[in-house]
Amino acid sequence: MACGLGRKYCKNLIPFLKHFLFLYNIGTVLISIAIITICLHLRFEWDTKHYIHELYAYSVWTGPYILLTSAIITLILPFASCYATSMENPPLLSLISGVTFVCIVLEIFGLAYTLDHGTLFSKITPWLEERFRNLVHQSDYDARSARILRIIQEDLGCCGATGWSEYFDHNKPVPNECRDKNAGNMYVYGCGFIFSQYLEPRTGWLSGIALLLVCLQILAVIAKLVLSWAVKRDARQQGGKSYNAVSTSKI
């Protein structure tokens, strides 16, 4: 790297990396707040919470839980990172880089799980179709199953597990909730498809923002390690003295 050509280049590189890391810390705080907000909305928004509880579709929340944990840690790290960067403290920079790497791993796993269990045509779609199929059968004798089935069909505009024909196939009358209130036509799509589509904007945005954070964190880890190396290199070029960003004077 340029630092290998002399102390002058290290002196030029260090301020650049510090400015980059300060901007990164500000961006990280904002992105972490966005991730936490979306995760909490997905967990506590009344309709979504009600649907997931009644369907026992708790796997939808597993990925956001992981991302929420990582985002909380990431929200705290910038304060320590700003201190380590301003003081040019190599050990602390290396420690923060290690913690950031752990967050990167958590975020990659969390967003991958979220995409695999919370988007259209992911693993959640066939699971939901089977779940709604069971609700259709149980609705004849289980009031709770009949209630949540009616609510979701009416709220989301869907019918049965895979469509209105499922009621015909099982010699069941098509409920009024399967009809559009204005046009009177029966809904074409099943609730397994529609509910996956309902989740996708929330989980998709969450995963996209988490991926952006991962990319920034990878750049930041590299910058911190390079800054740590540059500070140590500059200290060696001063004659082996440990580098101190705060100037001192003898009394």
Tokens of 100: 């950031």
| Residue 59 belongs to domain spanning | 10-119+207-237
Contact yes or no for 118/124 (Cβ under 8 A): yes
Per-residue pLDDT, 19: 92
Structural domain contains residue 198: no
Looking at the structure, tell me whether residues 65 and 147 fall in a common domain.
Answer: no
Tokens of 144: 């709770």
Per-residue pLDDT, 181: 83
Beta bridge partners of 179: 186
Per-residue pLDDT, 8: 58
Looking at the structure, tell me whether residues 114 and 141 fall in a common domain.
Answer: no
Per-residue pLDDT, 243: 45
CA distance 145 to 163: 17
* Helix axis angle, 124-138 to 143-156, nearest 10°: 130
Looking at the structure, tell me whether residues 43 and 166 fall in a common domain.
Answer: no
Tokens of 114: 């979220």
Residues 111-132: pLDDT tens digits? 999 999 999 999 999 999 999 9
DSSP 188: -
Query: Tell me, what CATH number does 149's domain have?
Result: 1.10.1450.10
Per-residue pLDDT, 15: 87
Residue ranges of the chain whose pLDDT lies below 50: 1-6, 241-243, 246-251
Phi, psi of 179 (to 5 degrees): -110, 140
Looking at the structure, tell me whether residues 85 and 177 fall in a common domain.
Answer: no
